[in-house]
Amino acid sequence: PRDNYKKIKKNISLGDVPAGCMLTVGDHVWVGTFQTIIVYSLKDFSKICEYKGHQGMIHDMILHDDYVWSCSSDKTIRVWNTSGESIQQLEGHGSRVFQLLSHGGNIWSASWDKTMMVWCPQTLSFLQELANIHEDAISAIVSVTGPGKPELWSGSWDRSVCAIRSAHFNSSQNLQEHDSLFDELSELDPDVQIVEMPQVEATKKKSLHKKVTGFIISK
């Protein structure tokens, strides 16, 4: 019943900026906005503080080993301690970074530049780049566990989904710019497999165009 769901607090205004993502960190909620992370108390909904560092919209935040990782339209990833101090800025993507994921002991990032990158959470450094998996922006990644080894699935604006199985990565293998991605990845590491998922043909093209009317996305 609708009566079971009641708003217990008035809307908390963010001013003239939208909320791009949210993350619970202890007794606080971190809200990623344009250039700023705003921290609120879970107890009384009060604003605690603001953390600045990014120069664009903050699209995603994750918590890994007591550190918060954030990604932004400014093409960078930042690592924060839970006190809000930015301890590292990671660069490498050529366009906005949409999503972060903790997978296989590492941090993965997905970007508008059609690539995914793998980062080491211990050294806060770049490990790998995966390119030529999608033909357009990679907008979503998720870790799937089940029978066998864990898999990572990626979704793209090219209207495809790929499943990637990888037991490990190391800095001696660069997975960038392969003509035959599946074959060459398998030769480099038998535990790496790229599985292209069946594409579903879009039957309502007009409605898809209507969804993007009213805003402009630039690379």
Residues of the chain with pLDDT > 70, as a percent, come to 69
Chain mean position to CA 148: 24
Pair of tokens at residue 188: 């480099």
DSSP state of 182: H
18 CB-near residues (< 8 Å, 6+ apart)? 33, 34, 57
Q: Residue 1: what pLDDT? A: 52
Residues of the chain falling short of pLDDT 70:
1-4, 7, 9, 146-150, 166-219
- If you compute the radius of gyration of the chain from its CA atoms, what whole number of angstroms results? 19
pTM of the model: 0.74
Q: Residue 3: what pLDDT? A: 64
pLDDT per residue as tens digits for the range 162-207: 888 765 443 323 333 333 333 333 333 444 444 444 444 433 333 3
Q: 130 has which bridge partners?
A: 116
pLDDT per residue as tens digits for the range 46-55: 999 999 999 9
Q: Residue 106: what pLDDT? A: 93
DSSP state of 3: G
- To 5 degrees, how large is the angle CA 165–CA 166–CA 170? 160
- Provide CATH code, domain 19-70+78-90: 2.40.10.480
Chain mean position to CA 33: 15
Domain ranges, ordered by start, for the chain: 19-70+78-90, 92-197
Q: Residue 166: what pLDDT? A: 63
Q: Residue 196: what pLDDT? A: 46
* Distance between CA atoms of residues 121 and 63, nearest Å: 11
What is the identity of the amino acid at 92?
G
Q: What element of type H or E holds 25?
A: strand 21-25
Q: Residue 13: what pLDDT? A: 85
Is residue 83 a contact partner of residue 61, using CB atoms and an 8 Å limit? Answer: no
Q: Residue 180: what pLDDT? A: 34
Q: Residue 148: what pLDDT? A: 64
* Distance between CA atoms of residues 99 and 95, nearest Å: 12
